[in-house]
Structure 1
Amino acid sequence: MIGRWHGLVIDCPDPQALAGFYEKLLGMIRVQDEPGWVVIGDAPDRPGVALARVEAWQPPKWPDESSNMHFDVRVDDRETAGEKVLELGARRLEGGGETFDVYADPAGHPFCLVAW
């Protein structure tokens, strides 16, 4: 082993707002909150998701451009979960399949709601 996973950093225009979205989506808490930088997770001493302010942020143009990475969020009911993420400011994207639907978070990052 070379190292241990510390976190995933997501570039965005407004870290505080996007952290609020992911806190509700993933059931995480804010463990660090500074101007331009917010970290959410399940505990301060465990890996988390960081949101970093990037002034010139441009979201990928789904499905034409790859986002390189995205969250797959497991849910019990895709329809109910989809309604809830739309209420939080997500928007539905093209694509999906038998077991997943594709959305964009409020900053435009794609993520999938997956049910088996």
Structure 2
Amino acid sequence: MIGTLNTTALDCPIPLENAKFYQTLLGGYISPEEDTDWVNLFEPSGRQILSFQRARNYVAPTWPDNTVPLQVHINIRVESYEDAEPTVLLAGGTLIDDSNEHPDFRVYSDPIGRPFCLVLH
């Protein structure tokens, strides 16, 4: 082993807005001294969990056809869809696949079109 994972950085057009969406889902805090091109999301304990970096020409992935590849995919473990989904939708997320073909997960997109999943615990 040479080290430990520092963060996973996600491209987005407006880092602070995308960080606030995931903060609504995951809790924690956004570092107050962040600039507009890079924002970090931390767990309440202080562990950095995600970073958001400005990509001026961001193009949302297309799912499920992958014409524009996902490149990264976030899974969020939840106790139930019924409890978690309203928060996702109120924060600006969109349900894009709740087929019974995959009962252990549902696919959503964040406000900029990046797919992520809620996965049953």
TM-score by length of 1: 0.89
Structure 1, unmatched stretches of 5+, are none
Aligned length: 116
CA distance in 2, matches of 1:63, 1:46: 32
CA contact (8 A) 2:14 2:36 kept: no
Q: Which residue of 2 aligns with 1:113?
A: 118
Q: Which residue of 2 aligns with 1:89?
A: 92
Q: Which residue of 1 aligns with 2:5?
A: 5
Code of the residue aligned with 2:9 in structure 1: it is: V
Matches within 5 A, 1:36-75: 36-42=37-43, 46-65=47-66, 66-75=69-78
Matched, 1:22 2:27: no
The runs of at least 4 consecutive aligned structure 1 residues that moved more than 2 Å come to 43-48
Identical columns (%) = 34
CA contact (8 A) 1:23 1:29 kept: yes
Over aligned residues, Cα RMSD in angstroms?
1.8
Shift of 1:26: 0.7
1:11-69 residue CA offsets vs partner (Å, 9 max, x unmatched): 00011111111111011211252111100112686333110011100011111114132
Sort the Cα spacing of 1:76 and 1:95 in 2 relative to 1 into closer, same or farther, 3 A.
closer
CA distance in 2, matches of 1:56, 1:14: 11
CA distance in 2, matches of 1:64, 1:95: 16
Code of the residue aligned with 1:106 in structure 2: it is: P
Q: Secondary structure of the residue that 1:25 maps to in structure 2?
A: helix
Q: Secondary structure of the residue that 2:10 maps to in structure 1?
A: strand
TM-score by length of 2: 0.86
Structure 2, unmatched stretches of 5+, are none
